[in-house]
Structure 1
Amino acid sequence: MKLSIVIPCFNESATIEEVIAAVLASPVKDKEIIIVDDCSTDGTREILNEKIAPLVSKIVFHDVNQGKGAALRTGFQSATGDIVIIQDADLEYDPQEYGKLLKPILDGKADVVYGSRFAGGESHRVVYFWHMLGNEFLTFLSNAFTNINLSDMETCYKVFRKDIIDQITIEENRFGFEPEITAKVARLQCRIFEVGISYYGRTYDEGKKIGWRDGFRAIYAILKYNIFR
């Protein structure tokens, strides 16, 4: 089965080359790599054009910064594989773990797989307490409305059968994507699995972008896509 790797990217000039090298070295052979640059202004676009374009399947450039959800919407529309995985353009997640993320789908057991930073015994960098607490709260609130028992709703690593993602219209432009997609795959009654993954979290000095406003938007998205739909 062919894997589509969708990489939303915004101002990741410090990491994008290393991330693409890691994705290329991942254990999946039949794969396409789709990068969506969300109007980067730090030199990322030049790196993509000059160094990375020959190495990947497709690069799409947004003319206006819209957010991660919008970049993923563009990437999903471009994907041609049987399975789609989201890969952030930073160094927080390890492409060497694609194999175990794909296994439940390849075994015919799952439609969707979440890579959980809080399940299993993999290594994690110790970073922000309040981020962890906020993540746990948002996951709890999402679970309460969807009636599923995820441990890490906000994880980057989400894997979908392509026929599942094709049934979903992404409306959120920023980080509200995470609770939105969770609500929508739960409503489709997808078979959802979790797999424990490692995690090397970044600090804000190292380029982390998510902030408190995104937390409030996530709460809004949980209510919007679970109650008012």
Structure 2
Amino acid sequence: MNNKIAIILPAYNEELTIEKTILSFNKYSPNSKIVVVDNNSSDKTYEIAKETFEKNQIDGILLLEKRQGKGNAIRKAFKEIDADIYVMSDADLTYPANEINKIIDPILFENIDMCVGDRISKGDYEKENKRFLHNFGNKLVKNLVNKLFKSDINDIMSGYRAFSKKFVKHYPILVEGFELETDMTLHALDKRFNIKEVPITYKDRPEGSFSKLNTFNDGFKVLFTIFKIFRYFKPFAFFSLLSSIFVFFSIISSIPVFDDWFRYKYIFHVPLAILSTGLGLISMILFAVALILDAISDQNRREFEQRILKE
């Protein structure tokens, strides 16, 4: 059975690398449909991609997404392209086209829903990427996600991935930027899709090509995404933690109040008594919210599983 494979290349101002990226993927996966999503570039990315398709007689697709952000570009492709297997890669020559079968084969033969090209295991990413804060941020996010979902994912933020059609059609892309990969991983973990990582080689961008990542801005977005997923999909843990914090401060503020009562049978610290009572009530409300949202989250997961099984 011939499976339709779509290789999606989101591209923003990649005029230096887009041609080589297209030719490289076409060489190593000639039967795949190459989809370039120009993300409102201000350089000649669109023109070069179009010329590359025509000059080399490549049956590719060129899409334009004016809304800035990798998440918007991938959403455009997922929405408009029909395939059995979707491959996502960057258009900057950092990911090896000659290793594409490494991430496609698990989708084809192992019932995997998302196969991630792991840049970390071989040590290439840390060696090639000289930005200390990026490496530190990757490790921080990896540890947070693995602890939260009791998983063992090595490369949370890899942009080289293959997906089953089932995953793509059941993944709502609500993020816009480079927090996309983190969101994909969290969605797959929460919805219990089958995930596999395969080690790949990784090269930094060629000279003259510049990364669109902003260490602090995109790092903050990734952490905020984790915060949102934690709040939405692990509400019991999230609101229970908040409840515990309010309990702690309620107890601390009540110590002088109880001391007054035991020593004098009279409360002198009335404001503290009111504060302690208020904090305690807030804690109780937060714990009730935790129970309610946990029940709703569980019901949503059950309904999702039912939808998957019916297809």
TM-score where L is the length of structure 2: 0.68
Report the CA distance between 1:119 and its aligned residue.
1.8
The equivalent residue for 2:165 is 162
Note the alpha carbon deviations across 1:122-165, whole angstroms, 9 max, x for none: 79635323221111111212222232211111001111101111
Pairing of 1:188-227 with structure 2 (within 5 A): 188-202=191-205, 206-211=209-214, 212-227=216-231
The structure with the largest strand share of the pair is 1
Match of residue 190, structure 2, among 187, 191, 197: 187
Aligned pair count reads 227
The two structures, once aligned, show a CA RMSD in angstroms of 2.0
**Per-residue deviation, 1:205:** 5.5
Between 1 and 2, higher relative CO (CA 8 Å, sep ≥ 6) is seen in 1
Residue type at the aligned position of 1:223:
F
Contact 1:34 1:78 in 2 (8 A): no
Taking only the aligned residue pairs, the percentage that are identical comes to: 30
2:58 to 43, 55, 69: 55
Q: Show the counterpart of 1:84.
A: 86
Alpha-carbon spacing, 1:43–1:183, altered in 2? closer, same or farther (3 Å) = same
What's 2:39 paired with? 38
Which one is further off, 180-189 or 215-224? 180-189
Match of 2:121 among 112, 119, 123: 119
Deviates more, 1:165-174 or 1:218-227: 218-227
Amino acid at match of 1:74: K
- In the TM superposition, 1:4-23 aligns within 5 A as 4-23=6-25
Question: Could you list the runs of 5+ residues in structure 1 that have no partner in the other structure?
Answer: none
TM-score, normalisation: structure 1: 0.91
Q: 1:203 to 1:17 in 2, by over 3 A?
A: closer
Computing the radius of gyration from Cα coordinates, the structure with the larger value is 2
Shift of 1:121: 7.1
Identify, as 1 or 2, the structure richer in helix: 2
Which deviates more, 109-118 or 168-177?
A: 109-118
Which runs of no fewer than 5 residues in structure 2 stay unpaired? Answer: 234-311
Deviation of 1:105 after TM superposition, in Å, equals 1.9
| Partner amino acid, structure 2, of 1:206 | S
Return the offset for 1:85. Answer: 0.9
